[in-house]
Structure formats: C-alpha cells, structure tokens
Amino acid sequence: MADRPRPGPGRGWLLRLVIAFAFAQGAVSMARPAVSYRALALGADETAVGVIAGVYALLPLFVAVPLGRRTDHGRCAPLLPIGVLLVSGGCALSGLVSSLPAMAAWSGVMGLGHLCFVIGAQSIVARQSAPHEQDRNFGHFTIGASLGQLIGPIAAGALISGQGGALGRTSALALLVAAGVCALALTSLRRIEHRGTAGARPRADGKVPVRAILGARGVPAGILISMAVLSATDVLTAYLPVVGEHRSIAPATVGLLLSLRAAATIACRLLMAPLLRLLGRRALLTTGCLLAGLLCAGVALPVPVPFLALMLAVLGFCLGVGQPLSMTTVVRAAPDKARSTALALRLTGNRLGQVAAPAAAGLIAGAVGVAAPFVLLGAGLVGAAGLGLRGEGESRTDRGDDPGRPGARDHAEPGAKAWPA
C-alpha cells in the first residue's frame, strides 16, 4: 500500500485566523473614516486629510521587507499579537490627541500594526496550504478583511454624528471603540501556526536578493495589481466621507455605503472557487479589474445615493478578486525560501500605493474637486486589467491546482473540506 501523506494542521487554524483578522480589520475600518472626520473637525482641509491617510502607510514602507526576511526563517505567529497591540494603541491615541501632526503619527503606528498582522497571517496561509488549496485559502482568509470592512464602517457611522465640536467628540469615541474591537482579536490567536510546519521550514544558505524575487515572472504583475486594487479601496474608505460632506450625505449613510461595498467583496470571495472553475484565473482577474476601474471612475459622477449604492456594490464584487489572486500569484512565482519576503514586497507595494494614492488624491481634490481622484484610480485599475491579461497566463492544469486533475488530491489534508461552502 502506498504511503499516505502526513496529515496537515487541519482547518481550524484558518477559521481562527479569519476571526482574528475580522476583528483587526474591523477596527482599522472603523478608525480610517473616524480619523478623516476627526481631522476635518480639527480644521484639516482635503489636502491634510490625504496626508494623514498617507502617513498610515509610510512607516510600514521601511519595515515590510525586514519583517518578511525574518518570517521566512522563523515563526509567523508572534507577529500577530504585536500587530494587534500596535493597532489598538494607534486607534486609542488617535482619538485622544488634539493636533493634526500627532494624529498623523499615531495613524502611522496603526498602519505598522496592521502590516505586522498581515505579514504574519499571509505567511501562515502560504506555509500551511497545499498548492491546490492556495486560491481557496487565501480567498477565505481575505473574507476576514471583508467582514471587518463590512462591520467597521457601519459602526463608525453609527457612532459619528453632528458637526463642529460634536463631530470631534463622536469621532474620538469611534477611535476608542475601534481600539477595544481590535483587542478582541487576541482571543482567537491560539493554535494558529502549526508547530511542525514552522519547524520544517528550510534554512536558506543566504538571502534571496530582492532583485531576484522581483525578477521572477508573475511577481511584479501580482504586486502592481494588488497595489492598484488596494489603493482604490483605501482612497474609497478615506475619501468617501469627504465626498459625503460635499454632497450632504450623512456619516451613517456613508458608513452603510462602505459596508455595502465590503459585503459585495465577501460575496465575491465566497464564490471564488466556482468563478475560477468557470473563467480561470487570468480572465477573472482581468475582467474584475476592468469593471472595477470603470465603476471607480463612475463614483466621480453626482448620481443619486441609491444609484451610488448600486455602483459601490458591483465595484466591491469586482475588487474582491484582486487581493487573494495576487497573493497566490506572488507565492507561486517567488522562490520557495523567499515566499514571506515576496509577500512582504507585495505589501510594500500596497503601502507605497497607500502613501502615494491618498496624498495624490488630496492634491487633486484640493485643485480640481473631491470626486476627481476616483477617475485617476479608475485608470489605475484599467491598467491593472492589462497586467492581468499579460500575467503568468497559466491554465489551472498547468498550475497543478485543478482539484479534478488525477493526483491533485494526493496532497490534500485528509478529510479537509472547503470552508465555507
């Protein structure tokens, strides 16, 4: 009888990771619009809001690759509680300070914490997923982010109300609540990293040069697609409150609109497996980015709120394919002993977009109008569609991840089932 593969760590770790990510991302999704509203209450203009939103991603730019190097040759799990504590502290102190520079600084701490959590979590998913499970597991992992993005803006919108001084107090309250929500993630951070998997990681004879990682076919495309998708999501989160203020849309309604976008993203990721079987990775990625670009540019139009809600729902569904598929693309294209570093480079690209996109949005909004940045983001997403069309271009069979291919299940975890269905 042929030897059976050793059982893997099961699927409970993924469920716990999704729950923890939902709390952490929910806190960040509460905090980002709350920071924008609090900055407006403290006298910030559109340009200052863009700068503060950009600082969130500035500090992580300098530490992503070193954290990825460390994670390639060690355990990933310790980064998770460190990230939770930094996010909680950044949220709480952003709500307590009363100056714009201090808010920008603590927003940067919040971004550093989010980076630590995401690098550790993505590395765990890459390390503990069989090749044919990576699309599914990364899709399910990012459901945690979408759940947080669904609940966070609703909670922030419910807490933030009023004008002037009242807006300052309610936005500060939302930031303090966000700090508490993030701390709840600590309750799900047990037995997430399988010790045997962590200990089995090969020690590299030397570091794989960053240039070699970036030279691997598929890595640059994955990074740029992820950057375009996240920049659109980030500016949408940070600037829809500004658009709402100019169009007299209440904060609670803005929160509902942002959550509707996140709900559609969750729906997309729940349907990831059948969509991949129907269209294939390249067609799904290209179509999603192209439609998202057109809809993102459409946000600039002064349409009624119900039509805006419909646009954001379809936009959220289209944006849902970008992050999980770009993760899989980068993991598969990178050298085996530098996967965490490659994911960190992807996150560095994301943070670069998060620094440049809000700052550019602030400058454009100040000069042209608050809706104009969405046209620029739409163009970026259309460009990402072109990258998806020119990407690795491997079929599902070529990649060896077709569950129906003979032998594909030989490496599956015994008894493993897709979660959720």
Residue 64 corresponds to which tokens in the numbers above? 């992503």
Compute how many other C-beta atoms are within 10 angstroms of the C-beta atom of residue 194.
17
List, in order, residues 6 or more apart from 298 with CB less than 8 Å away.
311, 374, 378
pLDDT by residue (tens digit) across 334-368?
Answer: 777 777 788 888 878 877 776 777 667 767 766 66
Query: Which runs of consecutive H residues, i.e. helices, occur in 4-97?
Result: 12-41, 46-58, 60-72, 79-96
Predicted confidence (pLDDT) at residue 270 exceeds the cutoff of 50 = yes
Q: What is the mean pLDDT of the chain?
A: 76
Task: Give the per-residue pLDDT at 8.
Answer: 45
Measured distance CA(141)–CA(50) in Å, rounded:
29
List, in order, residues 6 or more apart from 367 with CB less than 8 Å away.
none
pLDDT by residue (tens digit) across 14-53?
Answer: 888 889 999 999 999 889 888 888 888 888 877 788 788 7
- Is the N-terminal amide bond of 420 cis, ω within 30° of 0? yes
List, in order, residues 6 or more apart from 288 with CB less than 8 Å away.
268, 318, 319, 320, 321, 322, 385
Q: Look up residue 184 and give its DSSP letter.
A: G
- Name the residue type at position 255: G
Residue 70: band (very low, low, confident or very high) from pLDDT cuts 50, 70, 90: confident
Residue ranges and CATH numbers for the domains of the chain are 12-186+216-394 (1.20.1250.20)
Task: Give the per-residue pLDDT at 420.
Answer: 35
- What does 351-420 look like in DSSP terms, one character per residue? HHHHHHHHHHHHHHHHHT-TTHHHHHHHHHHHHHHHHHHHS----HHHHT--TTSTTGGGGSPTT---S-
Predicted confidence (pLDDT) at residue 57 exceeds the cutoff of 90 = no
Predicted confidence (pLDDT) at residue 177 exceeds the cutoff of 90 = yes
Q: Look up residue 186 and give its DSSP letter.
A: G
Predicted confidence (pLDDT) at residue 406 exceeds the cutoff of 50 = no
pTM > 0.75: no
- 37-46, 193-202, 213-222, 364-373: least confident range: 193-202
pLDDT by residue (tens digit) across 278-291?
Answer: 888 788 888 888 89
Cα dihedral across residues 218, 221, 224, 227: positive or negative: negative
125 versus 130: the higher-pLDDT residue is 125
